[in-house]
Structures are given as C-alpha cells and as structure tokens.
Chains A and B, each alone.
Chain A
Amino acid sequence: MTDGILAATFAVSRRYGAVCALDAVSIDVRAGELVGLLGPNGAGKTTLLNLLVGLRRPTSGRVELFGGDPRLAPYRRQIGVTPQETGLPATLRVGECVDYVGAHFPDPVPRGELLERFGLGDLAKRQTGGLSGGQRRRLAVALAFVGRPRLVFLDEPTTGLDVSARHTLWEGIRAFHAGGGTVLLTSHYLEEIQALAERVLVLGAGRVLTDGTVAAVRAMVGVRRVSLLTPARAPLPVLPGVVRSEQTEDGRTHLLTTDADQLVRDLVHAGADFRDLEVQPTSLEEAFLSLTRDATDPAVALAA
C-alpha cells in the first residue's frame, strides 16, 4: 500500500440524472486515521461512502480501495461496512447473522466474542425481527467488525441509539482505532465527530469544503464566542469586531467576534457593565453551520 493510503478518490464525480451528488472530489484515508465525514443532507456523504466500498461506480474519476477497484471482491476483504439503513433478515437469529457474514472472511471474530463486545451477548438466539431498533443498529455495527477489518466505513452508526449505547459504541470504535484500525465515519451528531474524530472532512453540495483536524476546522471559521451577563438597564455599547450578537433566555448576551481579546479590551475601555465573562472557542457545530451556509450561498465566496 503506497504511503499507507488505504482508500482514495481521484477527482471523482457522481451524477444521478441531472443531480450532481459529488463534484470532482479527491480525498484519501490513511492507515490509522479516524476520519469524520460531516455534511448536511444531500451533501454527498453516503454517495462518497458507496463509491469507496464499490456499491456505485463514479461517473468520472477513479476510486481506489487498498490499491484496487472496490467493485472487485478481493479488495473488499479488509473492510467492514455499516450502511445508513439497518437491514437485517427478520427471521435469522442474531448469532446466525454473525455466522453468515463471518463465513465470507478467512479469519472471522468468534461469534460469542463479537456479540459480547457490542453488548449483544444474551441475544444470540433472538431473531433480528424481535430486536429493538437500537439493538439492531448495534448488530449492524458489530457486523462491520466480524472479518477483522483494517478499515471500517460507518454511515451514521449511532442513529437511534440512546446516550449510554452511543457512548458504549464510541468506546468500541476508539478501541478499534487504538488497536491500529482505520475508521471513516459519517454522522449528523457533531458531538460524536468532535468526540471521536481526529480529522474532519466537511462536504457541502458535493464538494469538499474543508479537510483538517477538528481544531483546525473550528479555527478556520475563526470566530470565538464571548458571553457575559449585563444588567438590563445598561445595554452594551456597539462595539467593532462583533460579527453577531445574540441574547439567550438566561439573560446572557453572546457576542461572536473574530478577535476575542480586542473585544474584551474594548468592553473594558467602554466601561461596559458586565459580569461572568466567558470566552469560548467556536464549537464544531458553529463552524460547520457557518461553512456549509457559506457554501450554499452563491453571494459568499469561500476562501479555500
């Protein structure tokens, strides 16, 4: 594998009729990375995943998986996939599903061990139709790991899971990653990407908007949040450098600014009456919203 790149796309485009789902996207996934793929609905995340695992062919450009075409079976031997929609044969038992998928690999994880790892140990004999949505989702994620993959593709893995199940799954993913595994995961839960991913790819309208560490993506937008309490009778003076100002229900005023330090100096010099000042970095959510809003707004040129 050249340079430890396990999967890559080279100027890949994918059209469905008149709709362009992906537009000249070039990305790569290197061994040992934990990559989070973010984007609003329709951004092309699932399409990109489908191209990488060979479910779809690109309209133009090239896809490589472990150095070869993912549409050929041998190149899929070291991957595991959890698709967005959980589909399991309703009448097969949990253990049987694991056995069936395991039969496709030379050295599958033993059934009992895999089920234990994903908290499904007592459910081996239950038909999948009799599982709750969350249990089915956990099984769908577990199946991605049966074949001892080097690279797993998880499309919104924790959809439908409650908080504790989600955290348990995060632990499982972290453990896999800590053991040398590579993960490409899409999610709507920015908290999840922030918690797990080292590297974030943001897609918008079929293009890569940004590709960097979580910190870099947050810093990209360059906005920090200064929040404070002001007594109602003394409104804040209008200050330069404030991108946006919001009031929340608890009476806090939130000022978004590109230069928090200068804003604090300005506040002090203006003699503003405030208490409980907090300066926070932009959350990934704010960065993401800002980036994708700009991407779909033709009037705003996004500096790449």
Chain B
Amino acid sequence: MPLALTNARFHLLETVRVPIALVGTVFFPAVSMLFFVVPFAGRDPVGATFATASMVTFAVMTSSLFSYGVGVSEDRAQPWDPYLRTLPAGPAPRLAGRLIAGLVGTFCSLLPVVLIAAFLTEATTTPLRLVLAIGAVVVIAVPFTLMGLAIGYALPMKAALAVAQVVFFPLAFAGGLLSAPGQAPRWVEAIAPYVPTRGAVELLWASVGDYRMDPKAIVMLAGWTLTMAALAGWAYRRDEGRRFN
C-alpha cells in the first residue's frame, strides 16, 4: 500500500479512537441542521436546499479549520513527530495521508447533514446536481484546508485552537451562510464577496439549485486560496527551520 494511504489509514484510526472528537465534527453540523434548518426552512423546497448547501459549506469550513489547525499543531508538539523524521520517508506521504484523512473526515461530517436534509426537509436536487455538489465540496475544501494548515504550522496548539474558534463563526456569518441567498442584512451582503466563505457557498448554491454566482466572490475565493497557500507554505518552512534545521 503506498505510504500516503498507510498514513491516511493510521491517521483515521488515531482520530476515530477519541469518541469526543467525532462528536465535534459529526454531531455539530447535524444538530445545527435539526435546530436551525429543519424548523425554519424545512418546508420550502428551494429554501431548504439552499440552507442545506450553506450548512454543508459551514461543515466543510469548520472540519478543515479544526482538523488541520488543531491537528497539525498538536502533532508538532509531540516527540512522535521528530521520530517519524528518522524513518526513510520524506514529509510528503505524511502530509498526503493527512489530507486524505481530512477529506474522509469532512465527508463523514457531511453525511448526517445530507441525510437530515433528505428525510426531514423538503430539500431536493437532481442526481447530476448532487454530483456537482460533491465536486464543489472537494474544491471548497482546498482554501479552508490551506487556512487550517497555515494555522497549524504557525501556532502552538492552544493558540491554534483559539484562532480557529474565533475565526470560524464570523467567517460563516460574513459569508451570508446563516441566511437565505441574498437575504442577509445589507451590510453583510456588501462585504460578503470579499470573504472566502461567500465564494465557497456560492459554488455550492449554484451546484444544487438555480443560483447565479457573483464573479467577484469567485475571484476573491481564488485569491484567498492563493494567499492561504502562500501563508501555509511560509508557516511550514518556518516550522521546518525551527525544529529540523
């Protein structure tokens, strides 16, 4: 088995054995669906579909930010981490394994959301659109993964946790995730295109329903992705320089 897959497997094993961690990533989005989407938008097919898409975006963002932000900085503090550097493998398989495990974790946290949407609301979509949505999820996972990696490599664990906690909700709110498309307060709609969450949620809205994306939001998302990539690269190299140079 290629080393990246081995790393992914053991990463998942490690995580799964801490039940409380599953609660955070899997339980929270499901509960949000039950408390916010089902009662308020559950009966409107269009509204419920868009609300589910927003919740999916929310889940992808939080899952990426926390699993990479906290996960990486936690691992960096353990003696196991430098020990692995003495093995005859470069850092790439371990990073690849972490990304694969992260993606699997993200999809696991989305599953309850989609099931609740399917069975408890009037949300509906076509099979083609569902496939498009899955593709969109993979695409939007990228900027948030990079953001999480930047946080994880730059900060010690407690700081990483604090930053992730402080950042995720405002990002969701400013992106208009907590309202129907176009229904957020005017000032939120004004600033929304400039935050990465807006571009992400628009991709999802456009794939599950009739929604025309704002080019500004998409361009900004691309910009954010590049910025986060540079930040993550810088943070990684700084960490390398400190611990292994």
Which residues of A approach B to under 8 Å, CB–CB? 53-57, 73-74, 76-77, 79, 81, 83, 85-89, 91-92, 96, 100-101, 103-105, 127, 147
Contact = CB atoms under 8 A, between A and B. Distances in A.
A92 B90 CA distance: 22
Residue among A73, A83, A103, A147 having the largest count of chain B Cβ atoms under 10 Å: A103
Given A76-B88, A83-B82, A91-B14, 5 more contacts: A53-B86, A73-B90, A74-B88, A89-B80, A92-B17
Given A56-B244, A92-B10, A104 B88 contact: yes
Contact of A83 (B1, B6, B79, B244): B79
A87 B78 contact: yes
B3 interface: yes
A54 B90 CA distance: 11
- Chain B contact residues (Cβ within 8 angstroms of A): what range? 20 to 34
Contacts of A91: 13-15, 17-18
A87 B80 contact: yes
Interface in B80-111: 80-83, 85-90
A105 B6 contact: no
Contacts of A86: 79
A257 B90 CA distance: 55
B13 A54 contact: no
Contact of B82 (A55, A89, A127): A55
Contacts of A85: 79
A87 B81 contact: yes
Given A57-B245, A86-B79, A96 B90 contact: no
B245 A76 contact: no
B86 A104 contact: no
Interface in B1-26: 1, 3, 6, 10, 13-15, 17-18
A81 B81 contact: no
Contacts of A55: 82, 85-86, 244
A103 B3 contact: yes
A111 B27 CA distance: 36
30 contacts: A53-B86, A55-B85, A56-B245, A73-B89, A73-B90, A74-B88, A76-B86, A76-B87, A77-B88, A79-B86, A81-B83, A83-B79, A83-B86, A87-B78, A87-B79, A89-B80, A91-B15, A91-B18, A92-B13, A92-B14, A96-B10, A100-B6, A100-B10, A101-B87, A103-B1, A104-B87, A104-B88, A105-B88, A127-B17, A147-B88
B80 A104 contact: no
A205 to B, nearest CB: 23
B245 A54 contact: no
B80 A81 contact: no
Given A56-B245, A96-B10, A103-B1, A88 B80 contact: yes
Contacts of A92: 10, 13-14, 17
A70 to B, nearest CB: 9
Contacts of B10: 92, 96, 100
Contacts of B88: 73-74, 76-77, 104-105, 147
A104 B90 CA distance: 11
Interface centre among A74, A76, A96, A100 (most CB of B within 10 A): A100
A105 B88 CA distance: 8
A53 B80 CA distance: 15
Contacts of B14: 89, 91-92
A-B pairs, 3 with minimum CB distance = A87-B79, A91-B17, A87-B80
Contacts of B79: 83, 85-87
Contacts of A127: 17
A87 B17 CA distance: 18
Interface string B229-245: 00000000000000011
B82 to A, nearest CB: 6
Contacts of B82: 55, 83
A104 B1 CA distance: 10
Contacts of B3: 103-104
A269 to B, nearest CB: 61
B13 A96 contact: yes
B80 A54 contact: no
A79 B86 CA distance: 8
Interface in B196-245: 244-245
A89 B7 CA distance: 13
